[in-house]
Structure 1
Amino acid sequence: MTISADAGQSDFRASRQEGIHPRPQLVRRRWHELAGAWGFAFDDAEEGEAARWYAQPRFDRTIQVPFPFESATSGIHDTGYHRTVWFSRRFGAHDLAAAGFDPGSPLAQRMHLRFAAVDYRARVWIDGCLVGEHEGGQTPFSYDITDVLTPTLAEHTVVVCAVDDPVDAAQPRGKQDWRLDPHSIWYHRTSGIWQPVWLEATNETAVSLLHWTPDLVTGTVRVRVDLNRRPATGSTLRYALSFEGAPVAEASHTVSDVSSTTTITLPAQTNGQASEELLWSPETPRLLDATVTLTTAGTIQDEVWSYLGLRSAGIGAGRFLLNERPYYVRSVLQQGYWPQSHLASPSPQDLRRDVELIKELGFNAARVHQKIEDPRFLYWADRLGLLVWGEAPGAFEFSATAMRRTVAEWTAVLERDLSHPSIVTWVPVNESWGVPHIGHDPAQASFVRALVALTRAIDPSRPVVSNDGWEHVDSDILTVHDYDADGEALRARYQDDDAITRLLTGLGPAGRRLVLPGQDPSGRNAAGRPVMLTEFGGISFPREDADAEAWGYSSASSTDDFLARLAAVVGAVLASTALAGFCYTQLTDTLQETNGLLDEARNPKAPMERLRAIIGGVRPD
């Protein structure tokens, strides 16, 4: 598949309707995706670099990019252990032109090669010249390749060597299994290029990062703009915000450094009686369009299009607060996995469809589990109105290497996703993965506290859950995982504040302390910390032709039994006067884990209206 875009501000909103741009909050007029057939080779002997495969790639197989080689969609479909793999693709003048490259144009003198994600380490060559290396399987990276494009060549060759050690426990891997075959709650691996690769032309000086941070109290938006280099003297950044074509605010300032931050006042937000008319929420997902223009002495150097949502996320009085009001969170656990393509989505439309299905089921939120989701999913969550919990994929061991890798990748995630209004909570650790002895090892507890502090330092605008499920050390929201299949037992355990306090001051359902010293559970109400049940349910109800080893946390024998069990556990949670929200496990069946509300093909296991009636059940006042 080859995609290019050429849109001005007047039709920018129309051009993004399909949600295909791999970086939806920083879009230029022209870009060109290098999807489709690439050369491919396994390098099990790890001889490729010494043999200079990067200089003369004669790979004997073809892979469909951007899909992991383990998946059927890639055309390779080999789920065995392969630590090192190679990719190659030729591109020529027509590809460069489609990306807007024109050395004579003031806006298109530099050519960039961008990768949305390569799992886990990547080295990249152009025409045999090494242009860079990257570590981190779920974060983007890019290179300015202009100076290595030999003008005399009619075609150029990009070569990527990806290294993804399937048994490296220090590598943040989330749900990717370290065993040869999937077992329990772990799934087939996703290795190599698994998100879009694209070409994009820019000027010598260009915008490299945009952050939008709204402040509802002051009626302002703080915007941070990073440039790829220090701009020339006399440069100016201009901002234009609009809603459905109507101007909302304009601002400009001189810029002399690679990073600048300014505050834009939104005049309409100063009227307190009308200030909610532009706010973003799942019920009214209003987005402001934004144009950012860099000029020098009146000449445009760069122009990018973006969007933002005006909303706040916080906690208070034991409740989650959205736009300063209590908001009950009805969430579902989203693995972001497809049987035919693994962690890669089969298409951008499939990302949209997952958001639509979550909302159709009656949920207002999704906890994307052990995966940094494709930005195009977040775009649809922004546009269609879905709260998202951003969660880091965990490493499986506690070591200096695991800590270094986790901090680096999590920092890159926060930088990438800070501006999405849909993301309302950060989760750097889940169920003590990577810190298995946090309850007894001060070093592991210190590391998690450091991750929380790092998260708040980069983004103080959202709540942070230190360790989802149990053994909290510094959480804004206290979360519990409880797979008890008995609805009455759940009802008793979470029915009111007294019951919750007894639970938090003892051992949790998994036999672990829910909070560790340093975060006093008895003071949760005074501190305003809400409590949520963020994993429960997990009722297995497989298709008749499902794997014989399919399982869940409990089992249903028929559609009526499944609905009855679901109503019992969800009804018990909804009956609580103390819980601030929940997250049901899970949205879809995933390989052997058949505890989805939908099967692996995204078909509901019971009539959608009956599922929705249960999920959206009435709560006590």
Structure 2
Amino acid sequence: MKETMLVPRPEYPRPQMVRPKWDNLNGQWEFEIDHGKSGKEREWFNINHKFSREITVPFCPESRLSGIAYTDFMAAVWYKREFTIPDSWNKQRILLHFGAVDYNTEVWINGQSVGKHRGGYTPFSFDITEHIGSGVNIVTVCAEDDVRSGLQPRGKQCDSYYSWGCDYTRTTGIWQTVWLECVPQTYISSLKITPDLPNECVHIEAKVNGELCNSLLIDATATYEQKRVGSQQAVISGEIAKLTIPISEVYVWEPGSPKLYDLNLALSENREKIDEVQSYFGLRSVALQGMSFKINNKSVFQRLVLDQGFYPDGIYTAPTDDDLRNDIELSIKLGFNGARLHEKVFEPRFLYWADKLGYMVWGEYPNWLFDITTATGLERVLPEWMEAMERDINHPSIIGWCPFNETWDKNGTKQNDEVVRITYNVTKQLDPSRPVIDASGFYHVSTDIFDVHDYDQNPETFKKRYEPMKAGGEAHVPFPERQKYEGQPYFVSEFGGIWWNPSATDEKSWGYGERPRSEEEFLSRYEGLVSVLLENPNIMGFCYTQLYDVEQEANGLYTYNRKLKFNENIIRDINSRVAANEKNFEVIFSSNEKLRINK
């Protein structure tokens, strides 16, 4: 493999399913912008066709780190590079992986199409074994992108030339790692891990691809700090092996105290090992009880912050793995225990660090201003949402799912409630272990949690709105003609957005409400709003907008370059006060001597 110092984003891109034989294809690729989307007609996939520019993958062409920094609309973009297969990979299968490419993608190997993928946020791969030869091979990629169509989920990518309000610079084409993987002729292709804390075990479902026979076995071994704490074996039935590993020493994953187990899976045929993958998991339970959100049966107030997942130089792509970890650590320093991963499917490496650092996150989807007035919306959202869930379901840091955010009407036409309802039902079918918010902010159809967005900047009127709930009175319900509160746990999942950046003189700067006249006024407003929510026993959590500025949106607690705007201790002390909702928590299985709750 290449020297990692020459390859951007060199770390292993799929931390929950690791194999030793892989090759990172990030770095310099040939590149071309195809404004007329005529490249396929002109056969740009031909191996002899030369592109006129170079780009640094995995950074999108809009970003400075790509070396292109072209921010106008691009109907299609093309990539090409050479690669060779190590001799040691002979007689095995070769998979070509893409972490994410926005939006409609087709891939060619040595001039032959090997497959297509639709969706800008989820991974895909192709088995290219039959298309490669010895020596130099060529991979060509075309990605078509149209954020203005209304039928392409685009998150916070701006559909006008200039970024404005809460919409930012677009991302086109490749924006996550491209890599090769060497696997046996028969191999473990996917893995689902379900923790079962009450029964002190973990359930494993492994899928196998390749030549199947009755002598295939899966051996699964769990270790904690290199000590074996459980194992199990199962025969492959069809393409699937299902097994349960009892855990002899139970340590729990919880916010701020993330205990993780290592997991080894070995596939054998006639007792000879043919494949092996490394993974990890956390034992924890998630439940809603009354007005409380419970982790391991402990009431945990959701002190969340909105994270948009944007970077000044990389746009959608963090410059380094350390930048992903740093964003979580910056949040924790201010007393937050988690985040809404807003309008974007974040990189697996971000979720890995959330797992490692004990940071709660909500898995979301980039539906901002997407048209769900007809069933076509379901066609475009549901397949990619299912791919996102499949990719991320094993992460203990994900404590809930939210497929839609602020489902605005389109041109006077209301949302199709069945699109929301069906997506909610499918989400619950795929993962019954986590709560689901159907449409954050509005308009709820079927939801486990009733959440609202409230950007009232006045602590007094803000308090008056939620005061009846303190004594069990009527809950505040925006748009009562469109949604009904049915007694679910109540979550103020967007609030604040206080506009403060004294150094921002650009007239395009934007935030919610009236800009404070001083830092003192900001802090007074912040404390007032947060206190209203912390002191209400019938509110399960909040999510403050937002962690850092993004381009013209100047309502972050940090600048876009991650520089703190305020006294860290003051913000942390406000956020860290004990919430009324969590004063009387109960520890799960307190009578079970095997269970060690890590405080």
TM-score bracket for the superposition, by shorter chain length = over 0.9
Cα distance in 2 for residues equivalent to 1:223 and 1:4? 33
Residue 76, structure 1, aligned to residue 68, structure 2? yes
Residue of structure 1 aligned with 2:26, choices 35, 38, 54? 35
SS, match of residue 214 in structure 2: coil
2:535 corresponds to: 575
SS, match of residue 115 in structure 2: strand
Higher deviation after alignment, 41-50 or 118-127: 41-50
2:310 corresponds to: 337
1:383 corresponds to: 356
Deviations 1:425-461 (A, max 9, x none): 10011111477879x66xx111111111000000000
AA in 1 matched with 2:277: V
Alignment of structure 1 residues 388-427 onto 2, 5 Å: 388-394=361-367, 396-398=370-372, 399-427=374-402
Alignment of structure 1 residues 423-438 onto 2, 5 Å: 423-433=398-408
Residue 235, structure 1, aligned to residue 223, structure 2? no
Higher deviation after alignment, 487-496 or 420-429: 487-496
Whether the 8 Å contact between 1:495 and 1:575 is mirrored in structure 2 is: no
SS, match of residue 376 in structure 2: helix
Q: CA deviation at 1:501?
A: 4.7
Residue of structure 1 aligned with 2:480, choices 480, 493, 513? 513
Residue 189, structure 1, aligned to residue 189, structure 2? no
Higher deviation after alignment, 452-461 or 338-347: 338-347
Higher deviation after alignment, 446-455 or 429-438: 429-438
Cα distance in 2 for residues equivalent to 1:609 and 1:591? 26
Cα distance in 2 for residues equivalent to 1:190 and 1:499? 47
Deviations 1:545-603 (A, max 9, x none): 45321111131233222222211211222222221110000001001110000000011
TM-score (norm 2): 0.92
Residue of structure 1 aligned with 2:117, choices 134, 147, 150? 134
User: What count of residue pairs does the alignment treat as equivalent?
Assistant: 574
Cα distance in 2 for residues equivalent to 1:330 and 1:89? 45
Whether the 8 Å contact between 1:493 and 1:500 is mirrored in structure 2 is: no
Whether the 8 Å contact between 1:242 and 1:288 is mirrored in structure 2 is: yes
- Stretches of 4+ aligned residues off by more than 4 angstroms: 1-5, 433-438, 498-501
Cα distance in 1 for residues equivalent to 2:49 and 2:528? 59
Q: CA deviation at 1:236?
A: 0.5
SS, match of residue 90 in structure 1: strand
AA in 2 matched with 1:78: Y
Whether the 8 Å contact between 2:95 and 2:182 is mirrored in structure 1 is: yes
Cα distance in 1 for residues equivalent to 2:472 and 2:554? 30
Deviations 1:34-86 (A, max 9, x none): 11111000111222112111113301111110011111111111110111110
Cα distance in 2 for residues equivalent to 1:329 and 1:203? 44
Cα distance in 2 for residues equivalent to 1:436 and 1:396? 12
Deviations 1:186-244 (A, max 9, x none): 11111100000001100011111111101122222111111123522211000000011
1:454 corresponds to: 426
Residue of structure 2 aligned with 1:592, choices 533, 546, 552? 552
Change over 3 Å in CA distance of 1:114–1:331 after alignment to 2: same
Residue 325, structure 1, aligned to residue 313, structure 2? no
Change over 3 Å in CA distance of 1:185–1:488 after alignment to 2: same
> For the aligned residues, what is the CA RMSD?
2.1
Whether the 8 Å contact between 1:330 and 1:583 is mirrored in structure 2 is: yes
Cα distance in 1 for residues equivalent to 2:3 and 2:557? 34
Residue of structure 1 aligned with 2:84, choices 92, 97, 101? 92
Higher deviation after alignment, 286-295 or 550-559: 550-559
AA in 1 matched with 2:510: W
Whether the 8 Å contact between 1:238 and 1:294 is mirrored in structure 2 is: yes
**Unaligned stretches of 5+ in structure 1?**
6-17, 104-108, 269-274
Residue of structure 1 aligned with 2:90, choices 73, 93, 102? 102
Residue of structure 2 aligned with 1:533, choices 492, 496, 506? 492
2:443 corresponds to: 471
AA in 2 matched with 1:305: Q
Q: CA deviation at 1:180?
A: 1.2
AA in 2 matched with 1:604: L
Q: CA deviation at 1:260?
A: 2.5
Q: CA deviation at 1:495?
A: 3.1
SS, match of residue 80 in structure 1: coil
Residue of structure 2 aligned with 1:372, choices 337, 345, 351? 345
Change over 3 Å in CA distance of 1:339–1:211 after alignment to 2: same
Change over 3 Å in CA distance of 1:19–1:572 after alignment to 2: farther
**Unaligned stretches of 5+ in structure 2?**
584-599
Q: CA deviation at 1:400?
A: 3.6
Whether the 8 Å contact between 1:493 and 1:499 is mirrored in structure 2 is: no
Residue 494, structure 1, aligned to residue 466, structure 2? yes
Cα distance in 2 for residues equivalent to 1:396 and 1:146? 38
Change over 3 Å in CA distance of 1:193–1:546 after alignment to 2: farther
Cα distance in 1 for residues equivalent to 2:440 and 2:182? 41
Change over 3 Å in CA distance of 1:19–1:51 after alignment to 2: closer
Cα distance in 1 for residues equivalent to 2:95 and 2:33? 27
Residue of structure 2 aligned with 1:170, choices 138, 145, 151? 151
Deviations 1:93-133 (A, max 9, x none): 4xx36xx6233xxxxx1111100100011100011011110
SS, match of residue 540 in structure 1: coil
Cα distance in 2 for residues equivalent to 1:149 and 1:301? 23
